[in-house]
């Protein structure tokens, strides 16, 4: 009987020690998980073309009062440069999942965001999130329609003035096109911008090149030297009445020549970038 009691006591002591050891390991693991990453911030940049205006390829000087865009599915991706990408068709938490190498680490910012790219003197902060450590050197994002408000149903609204010689046009151009931009290699001034270190902060920039739409006459003074595939503002000016143009995408398709409308759409599909890094375009799929 005494031997049994001693054995029982020893077994209880062993179990208690094991429980303490497991609890300690669990605490350590939790601490490791809590400190295993940093912060990833998503930015939107209209650059000086949108913030300061420019002269287009048809010699119209454009000045934007507002340049609204609506974004969703903002995604930062860690891609090993030598890894070949492949098209994936799996829907994944509402953010673009094309051009992400199989198994590549990526995070997506929840929510839908409407921004005015004319505001401020640099990139606009969209939002931040916790993210595992690594280099988020690629981006993906959707341009979607606003759900409510004065511009419900539109993905892009451009408002401003265009001047050429003695003529001035007040314009509002409203687009309904929904687009996904993926495989955007982040090419910004800071090549380490996307690096998230332990407890640190990295960033992913989404960039919007309005000169792709209208062309940049630029310092070269040659309208064919920059953005040759851009439509330019002249086809819009031709539709103005008494110095005012208020047009939506359906009206553009109906009133422009088929070639001009097709040219504009093709240019629109190149609007999204990450810094100077180009993106791949696909039609937006809500699923």
Tokens of 243: 């110095």
Phi-psi label, residue 47: left if phi above 0, alpha if psi -120 to 50, beta otherwise: left
pLDDT (tens digit per residue) in 38-83: 999 999 999 999 999 999 999 999 999 999 999 999 999 998 755 3
Per-residue confidence (pLDDT) for residue 10, from 0 to 100: 38
What the block records as the tokens of 174 is 């409203």
For residue 92, pLDDT beyond 90: no
Q: How confident is the model at residue 102 (pLDDT cuts 50, 70, 90)?
A: low
Closest by CA to 274, choosing from 130, 172, 157, 139, is: 139
Tokens 């401020």, located at residue: 120
Decide if 212 contacts 271 (C-beta within 8 A).
yes
pLDDT single digits (tens) 187-199: 999 989 999 999 9
Pick left, alpha or beta for residue 28 (phi over 0 → left; psi -120 to 50 → alpha; otherwise beta). alpha
Least confident of 34-38, 181-185, 271-275: 34-38
Structure-token pair, residue 43: 């930015």
Strands (E), 144-279: 156-164, 167-175, 179-185, 195-196, 201-208, 244-248, 272-274, 277-278
Average pLDDT over residues 113-125: 95
| Pairing verdict, β 277-278 and 272-274 | antiparallel
The H or E element spanning position 62 is strand 61-77
Least Cα distance to 286 among 114, 18, 93 occurs for: 93
How far apart CA 63 and CA 226 sit, in angstroms, is 19
Least Cα distance to 267 among 206, 205, 215, 207 occurs for 215
11 vs 168, more confident: 168
- What would the pLDDT profile of 150-161 be if each residue is shown by its tens digit? 889 999 999 999
Res 22: pLDDT: 31
Six-digit token string for 205: 């920039």
Which residues is 37 bridged to in the sheet? 132
The pLDDT assigned to 98 comes to 59
- Token pair in block for residue 269: 């599909």
Considering only CA atoms, which of 115, 282, 266 is closest in space to residue 184? 282
Q: What pLDDT, in 10s, does the model give residues 194-218?
A: 999 999 999 999 999 999 999 988 7
Cα 256 to Cα 217: distance, rounded to the nearest angstrom: 23
pLDDT band at 219 (very low <50, low <70, confident <90, very high): low
The candidate with the shortest Cα–Cα distance to 101, out of 167, 155, 182, is 182
Res 185 pLDDT > 60: yes
The position carrying tokens 């020893």 is: 10
Instruction: List the domain boundaries for the chain.
Output: 39-283
């Amino acid at each position: 009987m005494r031997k049994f009691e001693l054995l029982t006591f020893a077994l209880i002591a062993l179990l208690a020690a094991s429980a303490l050891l497991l609890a300690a390991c669990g605490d350590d693991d939790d601490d490791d998980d809590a400190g295993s990453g940093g912060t990833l911030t998503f930015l939107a940049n209209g650059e000086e073309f949108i913030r300061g205006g420019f002269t287009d390829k048809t010699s119209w000087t454009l000045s934007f009062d507002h340049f609204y865009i609506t974004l969703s599915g903002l995604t930062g991706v860690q891609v090993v440069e030598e890894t070949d990408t492949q098209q994936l068709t799996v829907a994944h938490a509402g953010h673009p999942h094309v051009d992400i190498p199989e198994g590549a680490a990526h995070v997506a910012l929840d929510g839908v965001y409407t921004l005015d790219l004319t505001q401020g003197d640099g990139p606009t902060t969209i939002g931040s999130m916790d993210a595992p450590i690594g280099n988020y050197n690629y981006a993906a994002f959707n341009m979607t329609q606003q759900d409510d408000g004065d511009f419900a149903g539109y993905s892009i609204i451009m408002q401003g003035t265009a001047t050429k010689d003695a003529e001035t046009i007040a314009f509002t151009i409203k687009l309904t096109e929904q687009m996904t931009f993926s495989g955007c290699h982040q090419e910004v001034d800071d090549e380490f911008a996307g690096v998230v270190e332990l407890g640190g902060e990295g960033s992913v920039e989404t960039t919007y090149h309005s000169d792709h739409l209208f062309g940049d006459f630029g310092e070269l003074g040659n309208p064919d030297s920059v953005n040759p595939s851009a439509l330019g503002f002249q086809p819009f000016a031709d539709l103005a009445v008494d110095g005012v143009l208020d047009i939506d995408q359906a009206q553009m398709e109906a009133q422009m020549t088929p070639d001009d409308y097709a040219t504009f759409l093709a240019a629109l599909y190149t609007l999204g970038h990450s810094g100077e890094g180009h993106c791949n375009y696909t039609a937006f799929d809500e699923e």
